[in-house]
Amino acid sequence: MSGITKELANKIAHFARFPQTGVSLRQMVEFGQNPSQGTLLRAAQFLHDELPIRLAHRVVELDSLPDNLNQMPSVLRVKRMYIDSFNELINFPKVSERIREAVREATVQGSTQRKHLSGNSQNPSLVDHSAGSTGNGGRSMATHWIPSIQHRYHYEVKPTELPVEVSEYNRSFVKTLEKIKRRHDPVVTTLAQGVVEYKQLLKTKIIDHHVQHFLDRFYLSRIGIRMLIGQQIELNQPQQHKDYVGVICTHTKISDVVQEAIDNARFICGDYYMLMNTPEIELHCPSDLEFMYVPSHLHHMIFELLKNSLRAVVELYGDEADKYPPIKVVVAEGNEDITIKVSDEGGGIPRSAMEQVWTYMYTTAQTPMLDPEFDKSDFKAPLAGFGYGLPLSRLYARYFGGDLKLISMEGYGTDAYLHLSRLSDNEEPLA
Instruction: Return d(Cα 348, Cα 298) in angstroms, integer.
Output: 24
Instruction: Return d(Cα 67, Cα 22) in angstroms, integer.
Output: 31
Verify whether residue 304 is a known catalytic residue. Answer: yes
Element holding 333 (H helix, E strand): strand 327-333
Q: What share of the chain is helix, strand, coil (3-state, %, to 5)?
A: 50, 10, 40
Catalytic residue from among 50, 61, 156, 304: 304
What DSSP state is assigned to residue 358? Answer: G
The answer to whether the beta carbons of residues 222 and 392 sit under 8 Å apart is: no
Element holding 340 (H helix, E strand): strand 337-344
Element holding 57 (H helix, E strand): helix 37-63
What 3-state DSSP class applies to 126?
helix
Catalytic residue from among 120, 136, 236, 308: 308
Catalytic residue from among 307, 328, 427, 428: 307
Cβ neighbours, 10 Å, residue 377: 15
Instruction: Return d(Cα 137, Cα 182) in angstroms, integer.
Output: 24
Element holding 417 (H helix, E strand): strand 413-421
Instruction: Return d(Cα 234, Cα 244) in angstroms, integer.
Output: 10
C-alpha atoms less than 13 angstroms from C-alpha of 343 in its C-beta half-sphere: 13
Verify whether residue 234 is a known catalytic residue. Answer: no
Q: Which residues contact 237 (CB under 8 A, 6 or more apart)?
A: none
Instruction: Return d(Cα 291, Cα 337) in angstroms, integer.
Output: 10
Verify whether residue 70 is a known catalytic residue. Answer: no
The answer to whether the beta carbons of residues 233 and 13 sit under 8 Å apart is: no
Work out whether strand 248-253 and strand 244-245 pair parallel, antiparallel, or are unpaired: antiparallel
The DSSP bridge partners found for residue 249 are: 244, 293
Q: Which CA distances in Å does 230 have to 5, 157, 279, 375, 376?
A: 30, 22, 35, 18, 17
**For residue 44, with 0-12 CB atoms within 10 Å meaning exposed, 13-18 middle and 19 or more buried, which class applies?**
buried
The answer to whether the beta carbons of residues 327 and 281 sit under 8 Å apart is: yes
Verify whether residue 308 is a known catalytic residue. Answer: yes
Give the residue numbers marked as catalytic: 300, 304, 307-308
